Amino acid sequence: MPEAIARDAFVCACELDVRVRKPGNVSLASPGHGMQAEMFIRSAHAAAEALFTPGARVGARIEAAQAASWAEAGCNTNLGILLLCAPIAAAAERGEFPGDGVEQLHAALKDVLDDLDVDDTRAAYRAIAAANPGGLGSAPAEDVHSAPSVNLRTAMALAAERDSIARQYRGGFADLFDWALPAFGPADRELGCSPAQSPGPAMVRAVQRLYLTLLARLPDSHIVRKHGEAVAHTVMRSAQGWRARAEAGEALDADPGFASWDEQLKAQGLNPGTTADLTVATLMLAGLAGGVRGKWHGS
């Protein structure tokens, strides 16, 4: 797949992440957690060059993109996104995905994961340690501050029960392909997305429905690490009600309660950051899937 198309799919996904209100996350409508939406947009553009270096190993993409993002934003804005999107970027180099190319894309991604080695682990560990996200990377075995002895997929598998990003490496991104991507289906992808353009109302509803599908199904790993399982499950239950309304086609932004929930989460320091990362990765996959690329990339 041409590098420009893959890069645009990533940048579009990252921009939609903050151009749409997703409760608890930073957005153009609502800053939070000491960060502004513009920091995430700048980070995405800074990371894109390294993430799509032709022929680069997955670990090298993660490490270089993390360094570029940090240099731009001065803090950790997108480590989880990079951990998820680096293997997707490598998979995009492996061919075209004509028509509804979801199965071909999934097969290419599985091949990338099977090819990961210990050098990928070393580079990813350096990136995680440099970003220093709270609680991520500390483990009884294969801690990121120690020299790794296994390939990156195996290392991630050791953390899969406590981290949803690691879970994707272990399971071949099955969560995203089996139920997240169907929640953002071909009709949604036909709505189109171009970098630096505000999404229309239908796209806003589609992204919010995707985000709520993820938040309603998996306790957010970031919340679990910082606040515990019980709090994460409370947020998940709240998301289930909003998801039902989103699936019914409601415009959630028209309800002041939706913005109020967003602000309440932020006031309590609750950031479903892992769910946002999974949302971005799913949107990137949707952009790469064939048949809708022209509209997705604004051409």
pLDDT one-digit tens code per residue, 119-137: 999 999 999 999 876 555 4
Weakest mean pLDDT among 69-83, 87-101, 133-147, 235-249: 133-147
- pLDDT, average across residues 36-64: 96
Half-sphere exposure at residue 19, Cβ-oriented, CA atoms within 13 angstroms: 22
**Residue 231: Cβ-neighbour burial (10 angstroms; 0-12, 13-18, 19+):** middle
Quickly state the pLDDT bin for 99 (edges 50, 70, 90). low
Weakest mean pLDDT among 15-29, 196-210, 282-296: 282-296
User: pTM for the whole thing?
Assistant: 0.92
Which of 62, 52, 46 is CA-nearest to residue 3? 52
Four-way CATH pick for 3-196+278-296: 1.10.4200, 1.10.3470, 1.10.10, 1.10.357: 1.10.4200
Instruction: Give the model's pLDDT for residue 98.
Output: 60
Rounded CA-CA distance 259/254 in Å is 9
- pLDDT, average across residues 95-105: 76
- pLDDT, average across residues 248-267: 97
- pLDDT, average across residues 133-159: 74
Residue 290 or 158, more confident = 158
- pLDDT, average across residues 238-256: 97
Cβ-contact 60, 34 below 8 angstroms: no
Q: Is the pLDDT of residue 53 over 50?
A: yes
Within 68-160, strands assigned E span none
